[in-house]
Structure 1
Amino acid sequence: MAMDELIRAPACGGGGGGTVIEDLPGDVLALVLRRLDGASLAAVGCACSSLHELAADQETWRGLCLALWPSVRDVLGGGGGGEGGDGYRALFADAFPFLEAVSPAPATVSGGPSLPARLVSAVDLHHGGACIMSRVVETDTSSAWFLGSPFRVDALVQEGFSAPSPITPGELTLSWILIDPASGRAMNASSRRPVAVDRKWLTGETVARFTVVLGGVALDAAVTCDDRYGHVREVSLCIEDGEGGGVSGQDGLAAVTAAMASARRRGKGAEAAAKRRYEEFVQGKRARKEWKARREGIVDLCCSGVGAAAFVGFLVMLTFR
């Protein structure tokens, strides 16, 4: 019987004389479940209590997480972390689905949720299906320097590295998981595939953007590739507002905290919806820039008119004096 047929077979002691999935030995069922993806494994765990126990196996979830994100091995360690040893399953539930479009919360509100004092970034960069970079970055988010400066986390700066094959920015995939060690909550701060690939002809660089839009701000994870040497030069995460300006560390941290507590969007259309939100965000930013430019042009024209009128008035006064 094929594996998908086993999963669809009647479970939990269904009637009739046919073979049911529970007739299989537990170790065989565990091997079958380990071949499922995360969404299917979570669905199987909802069928009944016996399958739930098998689907909650931490080694299975650990294998799923490490296959997607090798860097989390150094974050959660061998024990899985989290309360009750549920770290890998909780991490998958938080980090795999796309975030809903949430509005950023105020940076500091009396009685509101406190901002995390430390953020851990688990960053994995793949090219052509092969992992070419896997790093863990810890950021002290409680310092006055971080809170007052534009939000930015660097996973790779300047030193660069070369992949076994020439880098094609459009074939890169990125996972940037932000983890709050205090609460155990996590979120994927990047899209899996580039939402835009920008070529900078003057510097000879190409920037692949893995942007996630959260209401009025965008988490902009960028991978900069040096076209001259064919390697990745920089991997960074910034947050920008609707006008393209940088968001302070304090406001960016508030947006991240709100996103970690928000709902997740599941389903096949989640990635397309995330890209659509990015396109709408870019269009809105472009429209605001054009409106601002027109407004400044009108103001400049009015100032020039007032200046010209004053100059003409001064000449008239001198003429009839």
Structure 2
Amino acid sequence: MITSTAQPPATTASMAEEDSATSFSSLQTDIIEAHILPRLDGITLAATSCCSNTLRQISSQDHLWSKTCHSTWPSTRSPRVCQIISTYPDGGPSKFFSQAFPLLEEDDHSCSNVRPSSPSAPPPSELISAVDIHYQDKLIFSKVQETETVTGWFRCSPFRIDLLEPKDVVPTPIKHPEGDETCTSIFNSMTLSWILIDPIGRQAVNLSSHKPVTVQRHWLTGEVQMRFASILAVDSGHVQCGIVVTCSVSEEGDMMQIREICLEIEDMDGMHINGTGCLGILQRAMEGKKGKGRNRVQEGQRRYKEYLEMKKEIQDRKARTEGTLDTLCMALGVSCFLAFWCFILFR
């Protein structure tokens, strides 16, 4: 009688998993914590924490997530931002990362007929902007700016946050070639992060599309204007939260320099919204659901294209309505003119 010693496939797979788990668990915890996890980016670190209870405990430590936030956004090294992140409830730096890294969820943010919910807390009395610009993965600009939101000037004026004074410029490694080569280079190589933070409510949202949705070069001056955008749902439809970065030619004439970095919000008619209206919009965006953080570039560009198509459709509809009204007014005017002369001639 011959007895088979072959193991069923399921048993073999189970043993392989046990061997793999044993070999991984044989590593010292301090080796994993000191030499493996610090090398991971935020998305990979979050995925690693789902692999086992041991990894979940190690990966949830604040110092790992603080390092991840600082490496992803150098502006978060600011003492004010560090203090805010450290007091975040339910996770501290990891909670902040989960708010600031991804785009908003499709249901809250896309060009669909979604009525946004009302904010659950009073409007913030202050907004903090943490902004970082990279070119070819090298940091070229980083700044933290505080904006008060309680004065009448802010609430009644069009919402706008400028990071540079009129005479300030930021040097860049971007060369100034002829033709459209500059636009292509910037589009493929520049990234921007604009994290807006509510320091009291401990909420944050990244308003940038990560990469530009449009890059335009002025044919005469050679200036290059980049637009990073997020499309936010509001009661009346959608608004564009646009970040404009303008580069001009340096005095030497061979390099580009940044002379404007601003954030503004406009509706589908191209009208800028005042501070009071923007506070509610931004607060809903901070409290909205966040996505998984993947495909941010493609998703941001898709939503911006969708927004432009909807905007064009509304403009075309208005143009047709105005054309119809003009025709009716002209016909009414002609009818009144003819009726007047008929009355004069045949009375």
TM range (shorter): 0.7 to 0.9
Q: Which residue of the other structure, out of 298, 301, 321, is the alignment partner of 1:272?
A: 298
State whether structure 2 residue 32 is matched by structure 1 residue 29. yes
State whether structure 2 residue 85 is matched by structure 1 residue 76. no
Is contact 2:133–2:190 with CA below 8 Å preserved after alignment? yes
Query: Where do residues 1-321 of structure 1 align in structure 2 (5 Å cutoff)?
Result: 15=18, 19-30=22-33, 31-74=35-78, 75-77=80-82, 80-83=85-88, 86-101=91-106, 102=108, 105=116, 112-158=120-166, 159-166=168-175, 168=182, 169-170=186-187, 171-201=189-219, 204-215=222-233, 216-227=238-249, 230-266=256-292, 268-320=294-346
Q: How far did 1:295 drift?
A: 1.4
Is contact 2:209–2:296 with CA below 8 Å preserved after alignment? no
Q: Secondary structure at the match of 2:327?
A: helix
Using the alignment, how far apart are the partners of 2:105 and 2:328 within structure 1? 44
CA deviation profile, 1:97-152 (whole Å, cap 9, x unmatched) = 11124257577x8xx42111111000111112211111111111122222222222
After TM superposition, the structure 1 stretch with the greater mean CA deviation from structure 2, 309-318 or 230-239, is: 309-318
Q: How far did 1:223 drift?
A: 0.9
CA RMSD of aligned residues (A): 2.7
CA deviation profile, 1:212-246 (whole Å, cap 9, x unmatched) = 11222221111112257622121111112233322
Q: How far did 1:306 drift?
A: 1.9
Q: TM-score, normalised by structure 2?
A: 0.79
After TM superposition, the structure 1 stretch with the greater mean CA deviation from structure 2, 91-100 or 151-160, is: 151-160
Q: How far did 1:303 drift?
A: 1.7
Is contact 1:157–1:235 with CA below 8 Å preserved after alignment? no
Using the alignment, how far apart are the partners of 1:46 and 1:17 within structure 2? 16
Against the structure 1 CA distance between its residues 314 and 245, is the aligned structure 2 distance closer, same or farther, given a 3 Å change threshold?
Answer: same
Against the structure 1 CA distance between its residues 86 and 245, is the aligned structure 2 distance closer, same or farther, given a 3 Å change threshold?
Answer: same
In structure 2, stretches of 5+ residues that fail to align are 1-16, 109-113, 177-181
Is contact 2:230–2:242 with CA below 8 Å preserved after alignment? yes
Is contact 1:222–1:237 with CA below 8 Å preserved after alignment? yes
Q: How far did 1:38 drift?
A: 0.9
Q: Give the aligned partner of residue 8 of structure 1.
A: none
Is contact 1:244–1:285 with CA below 8 Å preserved after alignment? no
Using the alignment, how far apart are the partners of 2:296 and 2:339 within structure 1? 64
Using the alignment, how far apart are the partners of 1:232 and 1:310 within structure 2? 59
Percent identity between matched residues is: 35
Is contact 1:65–1:92 with CA below 8 Å preserved after alignment? yes
**How many residues align structurally?**
306
Against the structure 1 CA distance between its residues 54 and 44, is the aligned structure 2 distance closer, same or farther, given a 3 Å change threshold?
Answer: same
CA deviation profile, 1:58-86 (whole Å, cap 9, x unmatched) = 22222221222111111433795224694
Q: Secondary structure at the match of 2:277?
A: helix
Against the structure 1 CA distance between its residues 100 and 17, is the aligned structure 2 distance closer, same or farther, given a 3 Å change threshold?
Answer: closer
Q: Secondary structure at the match of 1:34?
A: helix
CA deviation profile, 1:283-308 (whole Å, cap 9, x unmatched) = 01011111112211221222222222
After TM superposition, the structure 1 stretch with the greater mean CA deviation from structure 2, 40-49 or 81-90, is: 81-90
Q: TM-score, normalised by structure 1?
A: 0.85
